[in-house]
Structures are given as structure tokens and as C-alpha cells.
């Protein structure tokens, strides 16, 4: 989808120029010289590029652009470094359970009744996720119109900093062997590539269990040419309108943590731009707050209409996840996603393991609903969990357990996003319409059948209590407070109803600013100049088994393209 004017020869020339431009030094995290609290920002600043959002795409984008231009990166959260819930694999669930106002993981609940999270930290989703690192398929790259050689180089640039080969221990090995036993073949070993069958993927957790986030990509940045303001909440993109011409973005207004307002303007020059990388919730929200969106919504919130764009906020999707907790008679390692079964019916089977605290799960669910001002009175975990074949006293808290899940690829089902208010700190209202398209439901059914087969497999027998069946474990899932959706008696005998009733997020939501609908093939926003959206909100479907590698790659990829156009303009 990128313009044909940017070909491999231009990339090669740009690469040579950038090699000469790269400074003989860089700065290691946590970037004391260029990452500062926004309270220290001047009232007015000027840059060549202003990147809104220091997430998985924004960090890669800003680091790349800084090699040949002056860049401002605005992040509404703080640094990921020094927070053990972020930096250590054992803090994964605690991080998601934190509902405090300054949490790196901002809770939201979709109108579908599913708990979800939005990153609020430098590094974005890579600072709060389960860490799986896997590339998009070659077919996906082709559909997007990306240059495969530049895509490959961009992936490698990312992987050099943040991707690792995980150590596969007993639980993950049992899942891998179970997948092969039930026919998810061939075995592809360790690879970042998206290949049908079973494989071991990469992880942003190293072998010591330390997380490496997209914020680490700022080690590539020229510390002289980049400024990062933390706890900087962008309120609005500002535009200049001149008779007969399209509005042009020329700056942003942002607020620091003390409520002080600041202005960041673009330097003079036709190549300077505002680059929106605030994610699938933040980017469509920011366009609307800036006057670009459905006129009905803008008028309802008394926002001056710059461009009536009905497709902003449309096409929202979240890949549905359904899972089964498996109590283990033997100790299990702490592991997040490492092994994946990529099936022919477009469902991905993955697993995690570690001590499971049922009391903690109940408290977390009540915290979530309290924040959302809702109730889960009908979804309380029983004081004693009963699973046929297991002595209830063995199911103490914490207990040794694992999780086997399936994620629906795509998905086909889509929803929409609407503003809740004009406050940029308030989450928008999102509807994902899980399983609205029957094809997604059938994929889930196939996926859950495969999960059940893995649990019942010989390969997995050491981690399953004798006489305990996958059906019994699935029935137990119906007693857990997984979401706010009603539970039906038929869910215990119907895979379809089980999928609908126990659906959860795997945090791969996307859409809202899709290519061809809100932005063009170069990610430029229709109807205005000087503004692009470069993040997962532009995706029609989620890439591969996990999008984070591709979102980071996209930031690098588009950063090079933008600089290539800039340098080509200078030569002309």
C-alpha cells in the first residue's frame, strides 16, 4: 500500500546516508539526558517531527527519525525502568491488576463486558504484555504492500534490542508435544517466522526473566536530536487553515502532570509532520478531539468540525481469546507465551504457567468492576473449587497450574469506538462485537476442541490430575469471574456457547484509523496535510500470532520511508 516512488534503491541510498549520520555514541536506558518529566518543558517548543505516543510503534519511529531530524516524543506515562512489575516476568499479573490512577496498565471494559487494558507507559503495550515475539506472515506483508526486504531489515533492527530465544521447560514442552500429538504439524523448532504448525517463538523476556520493551529501541536514537517528555498528555492537534487548501497540522497542545499547558510546533518546512502513534484507542480518540471524525459525535461533544470523517473509530476489532486453567499435580515453571500452534483453521493455540491464586483472581475481578462501577455479584468464585477427579483440598491458593488458550485469527468481527468525553485522560467507549461474524465463532470452536485434545493427550499427562478430563476443567471455567457476560447452562455442553460466555481479550485490539478508510497507503490522514497515523489502529487484521513485533517494525519501516522522502526532497 506504500507509494511505488519509495523503492529499494532509495532505501539503499538512505541507508548509506544514515550510516554516516549515526553519531559515534548513543545513550543507554533510562535516557537521563533526553527523557524528562513534561513539567520541565518550556511553554513553547519547536521540532521537525512531533510523535504522539511513546508506545510500540512510537519509540521505533522516533528513534529512526532522530538520525536525520529533530524529534519530540510525547508519552502520557512514565518510564518502564525501575518498576519490577514491568521488568520482571513474575510481575506480569500484578501489573495488569493495578487499577491505580498512575498504573502503567489502564483498565477499560468494553461494552461487550470484557476486561481489557491500555498501556500508559513508555514502551506501550510491550511494557505490560505477555512478551511473545513473532513476525507477520509473508502473505500479510504482501497484502499490506510493504517492501519485503525493508520489512526484514526493520524486523532485524528491532530484534537486535528486544527479542530473545526462550528457554523451554517442562510445561511448555508438554504443550508443544501435545500439539504435535494431536496433529498441529509440522514442528518448525525455534523461529520468529509465521509458519503453519507448531513452533517456539521469540520473547521480549530474556532468559533471566527480564523484560525488554520498545523503550529500549530509543538506544538507537541520536540523544542530541531527540527529546522525550513523560507524563505529557496531548489534548489536541492544532491545524492551520488557509483559503481553499486542506487544513495542515502544525503542532500539538499538551498538558503536564501539574496541569500546565504547553505548545509544541513544527519547524518551517513542508516535510515536517505530526505523527500520531497513540494506539488503537488513543489515535482515533485524538483525531476526534482534534476535529476529525464523525460529525454526529463531534457535535455531541461540542468539538469544532475540521473534517467530517465517518470512518474514524470504525473497524475496531479484538482477537477473542478463550482458555482453560489446568491444575497440575506437579510443579510448573513460571512461563508466559513461548510455544504456539498455528492451525490450518486460523486459530492459534498458546500456553502459560505458574502459581495461580484464586483469591487474588477474585479480588482482581472485584477491583476491575469497582473501577467500572459495575457488579459481579452473580460471578463469585466458590470458596471451594470442585473438579471431578481432584481432591478439593489440593486446590489450595496458590496452586500449581497452567493455562492453555486459543486465539482467533483476524478476526472478521468488527465494532466501533466513540468518545466518552472531551477529556483525553478518559478512555473512549469501545464495542468489539466478539463473534458477531459466525466465522470467528467456528474458529473458536475448532480451537477449543484442539485445546481439549491437548489437555487429554498422553504428552500432557504429567500435568493433568488422573481421571480429570478437559470437559470437567472447561465446566470449572464457567465459575470463574472472567468477564461481565451472562453464563448459560448450555455452555457446559456447547463449544459455541462456551466461547461466547467465557471470551476474554488477548490485548490484540486494533482498528479505528484503518488504511484505505482513514489513512492512505503512506499512512497520511485523508482530508488534511502534515499528519500521519502509524500504529496498530491502521490494521485491518492483527498480524501473525502476536502483533507487537510488527507494530515495532512498522515504526522503523515508516521512519525510514519518511526520512527517505525528506532526503529525496533535499536532493530535488
Domains identified in the chain and CATH numbers: 27-163+212-288+511-571 (3.50.50.60), 167-200+320-409+435-502 (3.30.410.40)
The pLDDT score that the predictor gives to residue 504 is: 98
The per-residue pLDDT for range 122-136, each reduced to its tens digit, is 999 999 999 999 999
In this structure, what are the phi and psi dihedrals at residue 216, rounded to the nearest 5 degrees?
A: -65, -20
Q: Which residues of 59-85 are buried (b: 16+ CB within 10 A; e: fewer)?
A: bbbbbbbbbbbbbbbbbbbbbbbebeb
Whole-angstrom Cα distance, residue 96 to residue 504? 14
Whole-angstrom Cα distance, residue 27 to residue 227? 13
Query: Could you tell me which of 403, 398, 323, 324 has the C-alpha nearest to residue 361?
Result: 398
Detail the residues annotated as belonging to a binding site.
56-57, 75-76, 121, 234, 507-508, 536, 547-548
On the question of pLDDT at 501 being above 70, the answer is: yes
DSSP string spanning 341-384?
EE-TTSEEEEEEEEEE-HHHHHHHHHHHHHHTT---TT-PPPSS
Query: Could you tell me which of 363, 367, 385 has the C-alpha nearest to residue 478?
Result: 385
Omega cis (within 30) before 30: yes
Whole-angstrom Cα distance, residue 349 to residue 178? 11
Q: Which residues of 539-564 are buried (b: 16+ CB within 10 A; e: fewer)?
A: bbbbbbbbbbbbbbbbbbbbbbbbbb
On the question of pLDDT at 287 being above 90, the answer is: yes
- Distant-in-sequence, close-in-space partners of 377: CB < 8 Å, separation ≥ 6: none
- pLDDT (mean) for 8-20: 48
- pLDDT (mean) for 499-507: 98
Q: Cell numbers 467465557 label which residue?
A: 502
The per-residue pLDDT for range 317-334, each reduced to its tens digit, is 999 999 999 999 999 999
Whole-angstrom Cα distance, residue 186 to residue 540? 28
The per-residue pLDDT for range 173-225, each reduced to its tens digit, is 999 999 999 999 999 999 999 999 999 999 999 999 999 999 999 999 999 99
Do residues 543 and 140 lie in contact, with contact meaning Cβ atoms separated by under 8 Å? Answer: yes
Whole-angstrom Cα distance, residue 464 to residue 454? 11
On the question of pLDDT at 20 being above 80, the answer is: no
Say what the pTM is: 0.94
The length of the chain in residues reads 572
**Residues annotated catalytic, as ranges:** 508
Detail the residues annotated as belonging to a binding site for FAD.
56-57, 75-76, 121, 234, 507-508, 536, 547-548
Whole-angstrom Cα distance, residue 341 to residue 335? 16
Amino acid at each position: 500500500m506504500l507509494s511505488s516512488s519509495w523503492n529499494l534503491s532509495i532505501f539503499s541510498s538512505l541507508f548509506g546516508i544514515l550510516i554516516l549520520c549515526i553519531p559515534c555514541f548513543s545513550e543507554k536506558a533510562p535516557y537521563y539526558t533526553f527523557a524528562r518529566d513534561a513539567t520541565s518543558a518550556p511553554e513553547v517548543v519547536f521540532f521537525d517531527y512531533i510523535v504522539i505516543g511513546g508506545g510500540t510503534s512510537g519509540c521505533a519511529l522516533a528513534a529512526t527519525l532522530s538520525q536525520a531530524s529533530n524529534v519530540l516524543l510525547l508519552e502520557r506515562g512514565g518510564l518502564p525502568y525501575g518498576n519490577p512489575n514491568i521488568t520482571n516476568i513474575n510481575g506480569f499479573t500484578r501489573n495488569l491488576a493495578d487499577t491505580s490512577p498512575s498504573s502503567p496498565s489502564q483498565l477499560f471494559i468494553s461494552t461487550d463486558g470484557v476486561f481489557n487494558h491500555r498501556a500508559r507507559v513508555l514502551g506501550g503495550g510491550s511494557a505490560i504484555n505477555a512478551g511473545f515475539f513473532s513476525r507477520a506472515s509473508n502473505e500479510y506483508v504482501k497484502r499490506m504492500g510493504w517492501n519485503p526486504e525493508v520489512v526484514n531489515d526493520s524486523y532485524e533492527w528491532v530484534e537486535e534490542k528486544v527479542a530473545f530465544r526462550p528457554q523451554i521447560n517442562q510445561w511448555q514442552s508438554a504443550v508443544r508435544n501435545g500439539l504435535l500429538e494431536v496433529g498441529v504439524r509440522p514442528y518448525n523448532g525455534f523461529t520468529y517466522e509465521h509458519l503453519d504448525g507448531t513452533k517456539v517463538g521469540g520473547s521480549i523476556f530474556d532468559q533471566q526473566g527480564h523484560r525488554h520493551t520498545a523503550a529500549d529501541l530509543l538506544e538507537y536514537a541520536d540523544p542530541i536530536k531527540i527529546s522525550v517528555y513523560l507524563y505529557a498528555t496531548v489534548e489536541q492537534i492544532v491545524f492551520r487553515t488557509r483559503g481553499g487548501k486542506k487544513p495542515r497540522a502544525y503542532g500539538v497542545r499538551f498538558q503536564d502532570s501539574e496541569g500546565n499547558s504547553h505548545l509544541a510546533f513544527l519547524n518551517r518546512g513542508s516535510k515536517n509532520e505530526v505523527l500520531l502513534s497513540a494506539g488503537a484507542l488513543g489515535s482515533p480518540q485524538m483525531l476526534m478531539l482534534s476535529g476529525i471524525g464523525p460529525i454526529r459525535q463531534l457535535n455531541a461533544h461540542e468539538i469544532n468540525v475540521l473534517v467530517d470523517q465517518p470512518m474514524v473509530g470504525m473497524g475496531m476489532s479484538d482477537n477473542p481469546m478463550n482458555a482453560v486453567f489446568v491444575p497440575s499435580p506437579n510443579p510448573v515453571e513460571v512461563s508466559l507465551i513461548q510455544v504456539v500452534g498455528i492451525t490450518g483453521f486460523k486459530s492459534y493455540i498458546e500456553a502459560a504457567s505458574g502459581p495461580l491464586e484464586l483469591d487474588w483472581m477474585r479480588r482482581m475481578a472485584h477491583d476491575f468492576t469497582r473501577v467500572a462501577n459495575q457488579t459481579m455479584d452473580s460471578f463469585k468464585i466458590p470458596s471451594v473449587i470442585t473438579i471431578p477427579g481432584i481432591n478439593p483440598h489440593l486446590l489450595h491458593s496458590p496452586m500449581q497450574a497452567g493455562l492453555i488458550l486459543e486465539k482467533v485469527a483476524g478476526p472478521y468481527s468488527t465494532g466501533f469506538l466513540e468518545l466518552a468525553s472531551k477529556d483525553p485522560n478518559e478512555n473512549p467507549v469501545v464495542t468489539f462485537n466478539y463473534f458477531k461474524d459466525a466465522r470467528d465463532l467456528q474458529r473458536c470452536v475448532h480451537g477449543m476442541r484442539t485445546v481439549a485434545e491437548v489437555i487429554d493427550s498422553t504428552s500432557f499427562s504429567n500435568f493433568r490430575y488422573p481421571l480429570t478430563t478437559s470437559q470437567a476443567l472447561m465446566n470449572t471455567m464457567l465459575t470463574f469471574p472472567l468477564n461481565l457476560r451472562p453464563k448459560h447452562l448450555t455452555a457446559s455442553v456447547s463449544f459455541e456457547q462456551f466461547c461466547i460466555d467465557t471470551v476474554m481479550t488477548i490485548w490484540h485490539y486494533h482498528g479505528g484509523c484503518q488504511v484505505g478508510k482513514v489513512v492512505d497507503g503512506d499512512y497520511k490522514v485523508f482530508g488534511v496535510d502534515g499528519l500521519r497515523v502509524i500504529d496498530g489502529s491502521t490494521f485491518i487484521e492483527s498480524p501473525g500470532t502476536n502483533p507487537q513485533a510488527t507494530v515495532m517494525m512498522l515504526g522503523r519501516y515508516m521512519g525510514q520511508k519518511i526520512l527517505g522522502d525528506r532526503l529525496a526532497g533535499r536532493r530535488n
